[in-house]
Amino acid sequence: MIEQLKTFEGNSLAIEVIDGFNETDERLAQKLFQEKLDKGYDHINVLVKLDELKINNIKTKTFMEDMVWVFRNYKKMGHLAIVAHSGILKALIPIDNLFFQRASEGRYEKYFDVSQMEEAMNFIQPSEK
C-alpha cells in the first residue's frame, strides 16, 4: 500500500510504501507523478519512504513493471530521496548516481535514514517550473 505523506503545490511528491507494493499501488504512484507533469513541470522531485516496507510483499511482476516505468520516465525525475533504515540501500544509492549520471544534470538520488525525514523533505522541496 502507498500513502501520500505530504501534498506539495509545486513539483514535489512524497509517498510511503507500507507493507508491500502491488499493481494498484503502482498505478496510484504513476497517477500522482503524471498529475505533477500535467501541471507543466519539467521534472518531479520524489521522496519514497520505505521504513515499513516488507520486501516479501512485492510481487516480481509489479516490481519489473515499475522498473520499466522508471526507466521510461527517468529524465522527468528531479531529486530522488529514499528514506529507509537499510544499509543495502544506503550503499546502492551512490552507485546509482554514478551509473545514471544524475549529478551531471543537477539532480541527485540521496539516501536518508528515517530519523532524517525533515532533511529529506527539504531535499525535495518544490522548485520553479
For residue 128, how many C-alpha atoms fall within 13 Å in the half-sphere facing its CB? 0
Buried b (16+ CB within 10 A) or exposed e, 50-70: beebeeeebeeebeeebeeee
Q: What is the pLDDT of residues 70-79, one digit of tens each?
A: 778 888 888 9
Structural domains of the chain ordered from first start: 2-123 (3.30.750)
Q: What is the pTM of this model?
A: 0.84
Q: What is the pLDDT of residues 88-116, one digit of tens each?
A: 788 888 877 776 665 557 788 899 999 99
Residues 6+ apart with CB under 8 A from 87: none
User: 112 is written with which cell numbers?
Assistant: 536518508
- At 10, the pLDDT band (50, 70, 90 cuts) reads very high
Highest averaged pLDDT of the listed ranges 53-57, 94-98, 105-109, 117-121: 117-121
Q: Between 23-38 and 60-72, two packed helices, what is the crossing angle to 10 degrees?
A: 20
